[in-house]
Structure 1
Amino acid sequence: MMVMQSEAIAAVDEAFGFLAKPDHFTNFTHCGECAEHDELLRNRNRETLTFQDVGNPGWEPMCFSSAEGMAFYMPSLARLAFTDPPYGYDWYGYQLLFHLYSGGLDNKLYTYCNAAQRAAIAVLIGAMIELKTAEIEATGSEDEFLRAYQIWAHGKA
């Protein structure tokens, strides 16, 4: 059964939308880069986070974010995965895959999430697989998306 984009986003909103915004997102005292990423994420909210904030894989604050911070922004990241990227940016879903798949069952977000949140992310990944086939094929990441789905939907690596 095909899941519509709106259903996937609604599932993520329901599972993550109640989370409070963390005071900090990174280990901001570690270095200047961590402090800069923390400041950006602290100065945005779910409605104002943009491609320009997270769309550069070489300078993306989510790579430095805690699981709590990433969970807070999951509704925003889900929307970006279904939004056409602005000029100069690639499809955000591939970057999101990195955050959802890196580390397999030891992924920091996966271990942070409860069962309902894991199920919502499985719905999101399934929707990306069904609706963003061309983008997934363009990145050659079909197997990674399928394995990520298995992790989030079934707890199997």
Structure 2
Amino acid sequence: MTSDADLIARIDAAFADIGKPEHFTDYRHCCECAEHDETLRSHDRDNLELRHVGNPGWDPLCFSSAQGLAYYLPTLVRFALAPPSRKYGWYADQLLFHLSSGGAWNQLYCYCTSEQRRAVAALLAHLVETRTEAFDGFPEEDRLLQAHALWSAA
């Protein structure tokens, strides 16, 4: 069984070359897009905190480009593997949304290379192997299995 640390190292290696975009969102679209863009632009992989992206009702990553999601994925994986936050809950639920929304047309899936897809598939397999009890009986269990099937087809 892969450890959390080994999995994080694999994700870090697969996504290391993704540069930080100049803009993450269509910031000229509206005030909300501009605010989300500024939140993501004003941080990096090392200082983004769960409080910046942990509220599903106000998640700037929902408005992000695929490159922006790929850039922050190593940080998001760390959030997902951490114990649940008292204020925001378990981030893996939210990460699953970003990895499964749109099915085979998921913008991050379409953006990623085969190596990156395999690394994400390893993350999802790791969640199945080590965090099943957190999903058992909840709608997210189906989402996890569907996401795992999608990313494993890489």
TM over 0.5: yes
Equivalents in 1 of 2:21, 2:97: separation in Å? 22
Structure 1 unaligned runs (5+)?
Answer: none
CA contact (8 A) 1:46 1:76 kept: yes
Tell me the equivalent position of 1:137.
Answer: 136
Amino acid at match of 2:98: H
Tell me the equivalent position of 1:89.
Answer: 88
Query: Residue 42 of structure 1: CA displacement?
Result: 0.4
Tell me the equivalent position of 1:148.
Answer: 147
Equivalents in 2 of 1:109, 1:90: separation in Å? 23
3-state SS, counterpart of residue 126 of structure 1: helix
Tell me the equivalent position of 2:121.
Answer: 122
Identity within the alignment, %: 47
Query: Residue 20 of structure 1: CA displacement?
Result: 1.1
Equivalents in 2 of 1:134, 1:55: separation in Å? 21
Equivalents in 2 of 1:53, 1:70: separation in Å? 14
1:58 and 2:57 equivalent? yes
1:6 and 2:5 equivalent? yes
Query: Residue 154 of structure 1: CA displacement?
Result: 1.1
- Cα deviation per residue 1:95-154 (whole Å; 9 max; x = unaligned)? 000010011110000000010000000011111111222222264322221111111011
State the Cα RMSD in Å. Answer: 1.2
Tell me the equivalent position of 1:98.
Answer: 97
Aligned length: 154
Amino acid at match of 1:11: R
Equivalents in 2 of 1:139, 1:89: separation in Å? 17
Amino acid at match of 2:39: L
Residues 1:31 and 1:148: Cα distance change in structure 2 (over 3 Å):
same
Amino acid at match of 1:30: H
Give me the TM-score of the superposition, normalised by structure 2. 0.95
Query: Whose relative contact order is higher, 1 or 2, with alpha carbons under 8 Å and at least 6 apart?
Result: 1
Equivalents in 2 of 1:52, 1:25: separation in Å? 18
Structure 2 unaligned runs (5+)?
Answer: none
1:110 and 2:109 equivalent? yes
Equivalents in 2 of 1:85, 1:66: separation in Å? 26
Equivalents in 1 of 2:141, 2:89: separation in Å? 17
CA contact (8 A) 1:24 1:42 kept: yes
